[in-house]
Amino acid sequence: NAGVTQTPKFRVLKTGQSMTLLCAQDMNHEYMYWYRQDPGMGLRLIHYSVGEGTTAKGEVPDGYNVSRLKKQNFLLGLESAAPSQTSVYFCASRYYRGRSEAFFGQGTRLTVV
């Protein structure tokens, strides 16, 4: 049982380049989330999804797009990377019912130069 897997683990981008971060979960969870974490700070929610084909904005959505074409995958896209998007990105998923816990991936460390 792999849980939540993020790809890639590290990436360096030049300003203006685009890329997609992949999050895959094998727990059949309905809810999925993308967070970013800047140095010395807590995680902030970028976008989330409550089911296949649905997405919604979180606290800091600007500059990012997401897609949830398959239940197990949640993609985070950067259309034109900026240095301000240098951060560690975490994906999470959880079961929709009750007070279930969220499971997090190991993170993607992105540097935009």
Partner 1 sequence: DAKTTQPTSMDCAEGRAANLPCNHSTISGNEYVYWYRQIHSQGPQYIIHGLKNNETNEMASLIITEDRKSSTLILPHATLRDTAVYYCIVRPGGGGTSYGKLTFGQGTILTVHP
In the region spanning residues 22 to 81, those forming contacts with partner 1, defined by CB under 8 A, are 31, 33, 35, 40-45, 48, 50, 56, 58-59
| Contact between 108 and 88 (Cβ < 8 Å) | yes
Q: Which is nearer to partner 1, 32 or 112 (CB)?
A: 32
Least distance (Å) between residue 31 CB and partner 1: 5
The answer to whether 10 contacts partner 1 (rule: CB under 8 A) is no
CA angle 92, 98, 100 (to 5 degrees): 35
CB 101 → partner 1: shortest distance, Å?
Answer: 4
Find all residues with CB under 8 Å of 108, minimum gap 6, and list them. 6, 7, 8, 9, 10, 11, 21, 88, 89, 90
Residues facing residue 94 across a β-bridge = 31
The pair of structure tokens assigned to 94 is 């959880």
Nearer to partner 1, 8 or 16 (CB): 8
Residues forming the site for partner 1 (CB under 8 A): 4, 31, 33, 35, 40-45, 48, 50, 56, 58-59, 88, 90, 92, 94, 96-107
